[in-house]
Amino acid sequence: MTDGRLKIKSAFITSDNINNIISEYLSGEIDLLSIDIDGNDIHVFNAINVIRPRVVIIEYNGKFPPPISVAQRYNPDYRWSGSDYSGASLEAITKIASRKGYSLVGCNVVGVNAFFVRDDLLTDRFHAPYTAENHYQPTRYFLWQTFPADSGHRPDWGPYDNLSS
């Protein structure tokens, strides 16, 4: 992006193609990476190695409070069905982020987005400890004005993989 202009690409993202797609436009350090693909978010995040974002925002499944560490089984063809079978627990994402050099600094109050900052950029501006237990917010779809008070996703329990270790 030497011309400084916004580039848009339509693509179905998998953990196998994400680095090729990103490297068409970017490499190295970037300011912000947001991952919200309703399913394979943790697997795609784990696969990314061509950029080093300062901040990562990633969707998590708030139905699983810490210390539950589970992730939706990887399926490169997965498409969200509208149920609550989606993504990974905050604990599981925090473990992957930690291995990649990021710390959890907060979650949004609706309980769907987690915010991670690269460890070399942490300052006293963030509330420690940087754990899922400290920052977890349960899913609160009723706080979104676009959803009625009784909204939510229909329950669906699997398959999830246990990522406790």
Return the pLDDT at 96: 98
* Residue 17 in domain: no
Express each pLDDT in 50-91 by its tens digit.
999 999 999 999 999 999 999 999 999 999 988 888 899 999
Stated length of the chain = 165
CB distance 70 to 160 below 8 Å: yes
* Residue 22 in domain: no
CB distance 81 to 61 below 8 Å: no
The closest alpha carbon to 109, from 62, 53, 146, belongs to 62
* Residue 127 in domain: yes
CB distance 22 to 14 below 8 Å: no
* Residue 59 in domain: yes
Return the pLDDT at 20: 97
pTM (two decimals)? 0.87
CB distance 132 to 88 below 8 Å: no
Tokens of 93: 């994402």
All residue ranges of the chain with pLDDT < 70 are 1-2, 144-154, 157, 164-165
* Residue 143 in domain: yes
Q: Supply the range of the domain harboring residue 78.
A: 30-162
Q: Phi and psi dihedrals of 74, rounded to 5?
A: -65, 130
Return the pLDDT at 146: 59
* Residue 34 in domain: yes
The reply to whether omega before 148 is within 30° of 0 (cis) is no
Return the pLDDT at 165: 62
Count of structural domains within the chain: 1
* Residue 5 in domain: no
Return the pLDDT at 144: 65
Return the pLDDT at 16: 97
